[in-house]
Amino acid sequence: MQTIEALSHRLSSYLEYSQINLVKRAYFYAEQAHDGQRRRSGEAYITHPLAVADILASMHMDHQSLMAAMLHDVIEDTGISKKAITQQFGPTVAELVDGVSKLTQIEFESHAEKQAENFQKMALAMANDLRVILVKLADRLHNMRTLGAMPPHKKRRIAKETLEIYAPIAHRLGMNDMRLEFEDRGFYAMHPLRATRLQAALKTARGNRKELVEQIQTAIEKRLARENLTALVLGREKHLFSIYEKMRQKKKYFKEIMDVYAFRIIVDSVDTCYRVLGVIHNLYKPVAGEFKDYIAIPKANGYQSLHTVLLGMHGVPIEVQIRTKEMDEMANNGIAAHFLYKNDGDESISHSRARQWVQGLLEMQRRAGDSLEFIENVKIDLFPDEVYVFTPKGRIVELPHGATPVDFAYAVHTDIGHNCVACRINGRLAPLSQPLHSGQKISIITAQGAQPNPNWLNFTVSGKARSAIRHFLKHQRHHQSVALGKRLLGRALGEVGLTLDQLTEEQQERLLKVTQMPSIEALLEDIGLGNRVAQAVAKLLQPDADVNPPSGSIYSPLAIDSSEGMMITFARCCRPIPGDPIIGHISSGKGLVVHQDTCRNITELRHKPEKINYVNWAPSVSGEFLVDVRVEVESERGIIATLATRITEQGGSIEHIKVNERDAHNSVINLCIGVHNRIHLANIMRRVRNLSFVLRINRAKN
């Protein structure tokens, strides 16, 4: 069993005597605080903080992190406050302990909301001090090592949480050794039978492969010695969970995955890495397109290495990683390998990248509407199979796998994302939804006044882009709902002899009290969204007034001045266009829906005057409005092309075309076209009617 003396001895290799004494003091304080408490396994509770500190000591963490590890359960499990810890051990240690305590409350299956809330707290604690997450990861690692005493349902819950959040965080921080242990232990706890079967198969396969692995290793070592290159050649083991995931995701058999032989070559300098690569490529044929240089372009978590795939004897695929000792240390321990918590020292690559990532988390957290949306974005960003692309000036931008030019635009800057209208990939125009591949050069074309398109949410994959688009749309929807609500309530108040601007404070307060709304703006938004009827709200101020206006009402109807706008929609059943007599109705959540006055679907609503809104077109109405047109034609070749040309010549745009064959000679073509108003539509229809093969053309009615 681990003791504080053994730990002190271990710490003496890299900490000063005074710092070790502080760690000891924290241990004795925690021992006293946890006196009488036991773990589920029956051991004294203090064994857990001691084991967590030991894990951190193996990473050579500083004395404050070790003190926080000793005290990390004190605030939560004993009556001791954060204030008491501040007095005893100073504010830095107290902040670390407080940050870790908040993280411990992450409950997964209880309520997704609560879990997400706690994850937000974690992001904030990490932003103040990255050591918080390292202490938490060590705490989780010891819990995973001692899962045996837990009941099965708890084991599964903790394992799920570890695989979903903690293993990816360890990966994001470049801590490969910890990630592998999390994954394998999590896999055993989630699927014990699958893990046992795979382990047995792996053991058998390892025995069968031994001879070939040794042959390849010897061949590589001999060739390197001949070139006077000093290197350590290691056979690389595939770990259990990664084999399972490959079998599941790539739908491969165990045998196919085990057919690949993996080696790692560790050398003394970056220069030697590239020389070894040349030697290896001379020894065995490299597979085209399988070479990756993560030394020149490190991964997002600071990982650096050269990767190549070769074809060995008998066509056996061989994966080789070439890296320096520092890179190997970095790959295994990531951010903890160089925990430079000194103000004077330069930050290591992984440390600055981790900080960048945490800043990104905070930005997402500010934008997210709620904690669930935030955690969804974070989970996307925690599984980065990176794509590396270049800006026009040659800067490298890292994006998750499957990212599109829109993701790229938001990665460069939020405003570029918002104003993006088109893009060029390697100098050629390309759709905004096209997935990007590593090495491409992307330039974004922006336009003043352009806005994010809600459809972008269907293909963007990065957390930053998705949260920024949602934030913008929510904001826009809010402003437009308030504006529409203002117009509707202003009109309803006009009917009872009041105006919105001249409401007294007393009247406003009465409205808010009855409607139970926090502010007038929130009330206007509710009216604009169609969740409240403006006339009913007006009636609260003048209960005796007759609010339902007669049909020939003198007050001015609402003016529709554009086809744009989230809170005013045009009904698809009758597709009204400027010039048509129109009527509006309030639909809950959608705002104002505009129909043609003669539309059948509005018939029932005419009996509910509070739902009906009198609207007309503004004299300066602008934009493109969709309209359905039915064309009967005699069948002949090239009809569609001729029709399309005729419509576009007149400035119309075709949204979609559907052709129904009536018989061998006649067909009916249903078109949905974009026009500016009725006069524009009439001009298009007249030009189409003049075509020789057109029998009849009319506007479709429901």
DSSP labels, 595-626: EETT-GGGTGGGG-TTTEE-EEEEEEEES-EE
**How far is the C-alpha of 19 from the C-alpha of 61, rounded, in Å?**
12
3-state secondary structure 405-466: HHHHHHHHCHHHHHCEEEEEECCEEECCCCCCCCCCEEEEEECCCCCCCHHHHHCCCCHHHH
Placement of tokens 């070592």 in the chain: 221
CA dist list (Å): 69 to 15, 19, 220: 16, 14, 44
Which residue, among 162, 156, 172, has the nearest Cα to 141 in the 3D structure? 162
323 beta partners: 266
Neighbouring CB atoms inside 10 A of 452's CB total 23
Asked if residue 611 lies in contact with residue 548, where contact means CB atoms within 8 angstroms, the answer is no
Burial 658-670 (b: 16+ CB within 10 A, else e): eeeeeeeeebebe
**How far is the C-alpha of 23 from the C-alpha of 7, rounded, in Å?**
10
Among candidate residues 62, 77, 326, 386, the one labeled active-site is 77
Neighbouring CB atoms inside 10 A of 508's CB total 15
Exposure on the CB side of residue 454, measured as CA atoms within 13 A? 7
Residues comprising the chain, all counted: 702
DSSP labels, 98-149: HHHHHHHT--SSS-HHHHHHHHHHHHHHHHH-THHHHHHHHHHHHHHHTGGG
Which residue, among 471, 599, 493, has the nearest Cα to 537 in the 3D structure? 493
**How far is the C-alpha of 623 from the C-alpha of 224, rounded, in Å?**
70
Catalytic residue at 610? Answer: no
Catalytic residue at 76? Answer: yes
- Spatial CB neighbours of 463, under 8 Å, sequence gap ≥ 6: 360, 364, 377, 378, 380, 381
**How far is the C-alpha of 194 from the C-alpha of 196, rounded, in Å?**
6
Asked if residue 51 lies in contact with residue 94, where contact means CB atoms within 8 angstroms, the answer is no
Among candidate residues 76, 177, 319, 386, the one labeled active-site is 76
Kindly state the tokens that stand for 83: 């204030």
Q: What phi and psi, each to the nearest 5 degrees, are found at residue 288?
A: -60, 140
Asked if residue 330 lies in contact with residue 338, where contact means CB atoms within 8 angstroms, the answer is yes
Please count the helices (runs of H) and the strands (runs of E) in the chain.
27, 21
Asked if residue 560 lies in contact with residue 616, where contact means CB atoms within 8 angstroms, the answer is yes
Helix, strand or coil, per DSSP, at residue 538 = helix
The DSSP 8-state label assigned to residue 287 in this structure reads P
285 beta partners: 311
The DSSP 8-state label assigned to residue 282 in this structure reads H
**How far is the C-alpha of 56 from the C-alpha of 138, rounded, in Å?**
7
**How far is the C-alpha of 120 from the C-alpha of 616, rounded, in Å?**
48
Asked if residue 286 lies in contact with residue 314, where contact means CB atoms within 8 angstroms, the answer is no
Query: How far out from the chain centre does Cα 223 lie?
Result: 46
Q: What residues act catalytically? A: 76-77
